[in-house]
Structure 1
């Protein structure tokens, strides 16, 4: 795939600002090649509703200013809807485990949460801050508005706070152990790889041979009948 197309695909999927260095690592290209590719991408996006937004060494995709009225209308429509089950699930993870990265949220849920996070950010229920442990990612945490809506002064006052955190921790630990077990599972012996024992395989071979002999005898019988008719 051409570099500009690869860059647009990654930036669209990530839906978050990414550094030139991180893009270079993903695509196994030099930072200079990434910068050149971004210039080509900017040219390719010219005349569309999407633009490349730069902030220092970070880049992301965004909509054109001309589309602001349309985006505002869509945003109001989204905000008028009730939160989906997936949104509530994501919100609960952020409330009880935050600050948390998107990859951690995805790991717990088992699916990509990019667009759900965007929706929650638009609603002002969560906020995104820099991750001091990894400048390539962000942390998501509940806003004061959300805590106020929940009727609590701090996260620790949430219902069953300790129990829920313990359950989440146990869930993640169990999932990691299961993945480790599957990854390091011993191979199945050759004798049982087909799901049958050597004795059963021998029986199958004998049955196959008998079937082949029967077919030969039947064919020979038909030949004799043909000769008699002639």
Structure 2
């Protein structure tokens, strides 16, 4: 039995056209037609025809997305006419989804990186385990490749973090010193908590 027989695309709803569409929809980077043809066990010419048909169909239907070919392959993109809508959704949604605890933890990691979970918990005064897991899942922090001498996992911010803040690197974060109280005030606070 060949790979094509094993996939049996023609018996599925939408057939090969829908199979190409399903793969392109989940791809997080452009997919060359040749790669699609190999993955779906279809002739390259047929895959290219299906891709062009999908792109033309999305255009004709006035969809909010389009299928475009670039030098590196085919990918689904939101239409340029809706850039402001998508930007607003992403910008507003991203800030609304992070809790105060997540923002505090993210700030500590950003300014102290690489930093151990225990240090973050110590600074915040509560366990940071769940919050760090959330930040890891959202791709805003990552485990550092350089481990701690004592074996603790160290955390750093990611490129996604910088991208969301519009920074090219964490070196562009504003300095904290202007926002901190003077040393004598800190001493008073420390003395009051004893």
What's the TM-score, normalizing by structure 1?
A: 0.40
Q: Which protein is bigger by CA-based radius of gyration?
A: 1
